[in-house]
Amino acid sequence: MRHLVVRYGTTTAVDAVSLDIDPGAVVGLLGPSGCGKSTLLRAVTGLDQPSAGSVCWNGADLADVPVHRRGFGLMFQDGQLFPHRDVGGNVEFGLRMAGVDRAGRGRRVAELLELVGLAGFARRAVTTLSGGEQQRVALARALAPRPRLLLLDEPLSALDRALRERLAADLSSILARTRTTALYVTHDHDEAFTVADQVAVMADGRILQTDPPDRLWRHPVDRRVAVFLGYRWFVPATALGLHGAPAACTAALRPESLVVDPAGPLVARVVDQRFARGASTLRVDVGGLGEVEARAPGADLFPVGGCVQLRVDPAAVALLDR
Amino acid sequence: MDRNGRRLTAVGLGLAALLPLAFLGVFFAWPVATIVGRGFVTGGALDLTAIDDVLGSARTWQAIGSTVAQSLVGTVLAVVLGVPGAYVLYRLRFPGRTAARALVTVPFVLPTVVVGVAFRSLLVEGGPLGFLGADGTFGAVVAALVFFNYAVVVRTVGSMWSHLDPRPEQAARALGASPWRAFREVTLPALTPAITSAASLVFLFCATAFGVVLVLGGPGYGTVETEIWVQTTQFLDLRAAAVLSVVQLVVVSASLAVSGWSRRRREAALRLQADGTVDHLVRRSDLPLVALTAVVAGGLLVTPLATLLVRSLRTPAGWGLDNYANLATTGSENTLEVSVWQATLNSLRIAVDATWIALLVGVLICVVLSRRPRHPGGRRAMGVLDGVFMLPLGVSAVTVGFGFLITLNRPPVDLRSSVILVPIAQAVVAIPLVIRTLLPVLRAIDQRLRQAAAVLGASPGRVFMSVDLPVLGRSLGLAVGFCFAVSLGEFGATSFLSRPDRPTLPVVVFRLIGRPGADNLGMALAASVVLALLTAGVIGVAERLRVQSAGADL
Q: Is B327 in contact with B526 (CB distance < 8 Å)?
A: yes
pLDDT value at B549 more than 50: no
Q: What are phi and psi of A262, to 5 degrees?
A: -55, -20
Residues paired with B182 in a beta bridge: none
Average pLDDT over residues A193-200: 89
Residues A30 and A184 sit within 8 Å (Cβ to Cβ): no
Cα-atom radius of gyration of chain B, to the nearest Å?
24
Residue B460 to residue B373: CA distance in whole angstroms: 13
The residue count of chain B comes to 554
Beta-carbon separation of A68 and B167 below 8 A: no
What is the rounded average pLDDT for all residues in chain B?
81
Q: Is residue B269 over pLDDT 60? A: no
- Contact criterion met (CB < 8 Å) for A97 and B177: yes
Please judge whether A47 and B190 are an interchain contact, meaning their C-beta atoms are less than 8 angstroms apart. no
Strand-pair partners of A108: none
pLDDT at B397 over 60: yes
Residue numbers in A near B171 (CB within 8 A): 74, 76, 80, 82, 141
pLDDT in tens, A243-256: 666 667 788 888 88
Residue A74 forms contact with B (CB below 8 Å): yes
- Single out the residue of A95, A79, A109, A199 nearest to residue A147, CA to CA: A95
Q: Can you give the pLDDT at residue A10?
A: 58
B63-307, superfamily in CATH?
A: MetI-like (1.10.3720.10)
Least confident of A294-298, A306-310, B265-269, B299-303: B265-269
B219-253 burial, b if ≥16 CB within 10 A, otherwise e?
eebbbbbbbbbbbbeeeebbbbbbbbbbbbbebbe
Q: Any idea which of B71-75, B107-111, B458-462 has the lowest mean pLDDT? A: B458-462
Residue of B508, B488, B499 whose CA lies nearest to B328: B508
**Which CATH code fits A233-320?**
2.40.50.140
Give the residue on B whose Cα is nearest the Cα of A81. B168
Under CATH, to which class is B1-47+313-554 assigned? mainly alpha
Going by pLDDT thresholds of 50, 70 and 90, the confidence category of residue B122 is confident
d(CA A209, CA A201): 5
Return the residue of B nearest to A48 by Cα.
B280
- Give the Cα separation of B449 and B453 in Å (integer): 6
- With bands split at pLDDT 50, 70 and 90, how would you rate the model's confidence at B7? low
ipTM summary value: 0.76
Of the pLDDT bands very low, low, confident and very high (cuts 50, 70, 90), residue B88 is very high
What are B479-538's pLDDT values in tens digits? 888 889 889 988 888 888 888 888 899 998 888 888 877 778 888 889 999 999 998 888
Query: Which of B214, B164, B206 is closest to B186 using CA atoms?
Result: B164
Buried b / exposed e over B99-136, threshold 16 CB at 10 Å, is ebbebbbbbbbbbbbbbbbbbbbbbbeebbbeeeebbb
CA B433 to chain centre: 7
User: pLDDT of A275-290, one tens digit each?
Assistant: 877 778 888 888 777 8
For the cut 80, the answer to whether the pLDDT of residue A14 exceeds it is no
Nearest CA in chain B to A89: B185
Would you kindly state where each structural domain of chain B is located, as residue ranges? Answer: 1-47+313-554, 63-307
Distance CA A177, CA B359 (A): 67
The mean per-residue pLDDT over the stretch A23-34 comes to: 87
- pLDDT at res. B553: 40
Question: Other CB atoms closer than 10 Å to residue B95's CB: what's the count?
Answer: 7
The Cα B436–Cα B260 span in angstroms is 12
Whether residue B1 has pLDDT greater than 70: no
Check if the beta carbon of residue B327 is closer than 8 Å to that of residue B511: no
CB B96 within 8 A of CB B282: no
Is B410's pLDDT higher than 70?
no
Does A97 contact B181 at a Cβ distance shorter than 8 Å? yes
pLDDT, chain A, mean: 84
**What's the pLDDT at B6?**
61
Segment (H or E) for A258: strand A258-260
Other CB atoms within 10 A of residue B358 CB: 29
* Mean pLDDT computed over B371-389: 73
A43 touches chain B (CB under 8 A): no
Res B83: pLDDT:
94
B193 vs A104, residue with greater confidence:
A104
A201 and chain B in contact, CB less than 8 A? no
pLDDT band at B412 (very low <50, low <70, confident <90, very high): low
For the residues A68-86, what does the mean pLDDT come to? 84
* Mean pLDDT, range A60-83, rounded to an integer: 84
Interface contact A74-B171, CB threshold 8 A: yes
Q: Tens digits of per-residue pLDDT, A122-155?
A: 898 888 888 889 989 999 999 998 898 999 988 8
Conformational region of residue B320, where left means phi above 0, alpha means psi within -120 to 50, and beta covers everything else: left
Residue type, B369: L
Q: Do domains B1-47+313-554 and B63-307 have the same CATH topology?
A: yes
pLDDT value of residue B448: 77
Residues 6+ apart with CB under 8 A from B236: none
- Residue B509 CA to residue B531 CA, distance in Å, equals 9
Mean pLDDT of B258-282: 62
**Would the CA dihedral through B443, B447, B450, B453 be positive or negative?**
negative
Q: What are the tens digits of pLDDT across the range B336-367?
A: 788 889 889 999 999 999 999 999 999 888 88
Q: Which amino acid is at A217?
A: W
DSSP secondary structure code for residue B50 in this structure: H
**In B283-432, at which residue ranges do the beta strands (DSSP E only) sit?**
314-315, 318-319, 409-410, 413-414
> Pairing state of beta strands B41-42 and B45-46?
antiparallel
Q: Can you tell me whether residue A146 is helix, strand or coil?
A: coil
**pLDDT beyond 50 at B551:** no
Q: Which amino acid is at A228?
A: F
pLDDT (0 to 100) of residue B266: 58
Contacts A–B by Cβ distance under 8 A: 68
Higher pLDDT, B9 or B209: B209
Q: What are phi and psi of B238, to 5 degrees?
A: -70, -30
Residues of chain A with C-beta less than 8 angstroms from the C-beta of B168: 80-83
Question: Dmax over Cα atoms in chain A, in whole Å?
Answer: 76
pLDDT for residue A34: 78
User: Could you tell me which of A219, A265, B118, A175 has the C-alpha nearest to residue A210?
Assistant: A219
Q: Region B273-293: what's the mean pLDDT?
A: 75
A236/B contact by beta carbon, under 8 A: no
Q: Which of residues 185-204 of B touch A (CB under 8 A)?
A: 185-186, 189-190
The structural domains of chain A, with segments of one domain joined by +, span 2-227, 233-320
Residues B3/B11, Cβ–Cβ less than 8 Å: no
pLDDT at A5: 63
B429 confidence band (pLDDT: 50, 70, 90) = confident
Which residues from chain B sit within 8 angstroms of residue A72, using beta carbons?
Answer: 174
Per-residue pLDDT at B209 exceeds 90: no
Q: For residue B219, is pLDDT > 80?
A: no
Whether residue B546 is predicted with pLDDT greater than 60 in this model: the reply is no
Q: For chain B, what percent of residues have pLDDT higher than 70?
A: 89
Give yes or no for residue B275 having a pLDDT over 50. Answer: no
Contact list in B for residue A84 (CB cut-off 8 A) is: 189-190
Beta carbons of B454 and B447 less than 8 angstroms apart = no
Q: Is A81 at the interface with chain B, CB within 8 A?
A: yes
- A22 DSSP 8-state letter: -
Contact A317, A255 (CB under 8 A): no
Q: State the amino acid at position A164 in one-letter form.
A: R
- For the cut 60, the answer to whether the pLDDT of residue B2 exceeds it is no
Question: A154-172: per-residue pLDDT in tens?
Answer: 888 888 888 888 889 988 9
Quote the crossing angle between the two packed helices B518-544 and B505-513, to the nearest 10°: 150
DSSP H helical ranges for B270-331: 287-295, 303-312, 322-325
Residue B78 has pLDDT above 90, yes or no: yes
Chain A partners of B187 at a C-beta cutoff of 8 Å? Answer: none
Give the per-residue pLDDT at B405: 83
The Cα–Cα gap between B460 and B431 comes to 25
pLDDT higher for B183 or B285?
B183
Instruction: Count the alpha carbons within 13 Å of B528 in the hemisphere toward its beta carbon.
Output: 36
CATH architecture observed for domain A2-227: 3-Layer(aba) Sandwich (3.40)
Which chain B residues touch A68 with a CB distance below 8 Å? 173-179, 181-182
Helix axes B469-489, B505-513, angle to 10 degrees: 30
Q: Are B145 and B304 in contact (CB under 8 A)?
A: no
pLDDT at residue A1 is higher than 80: no
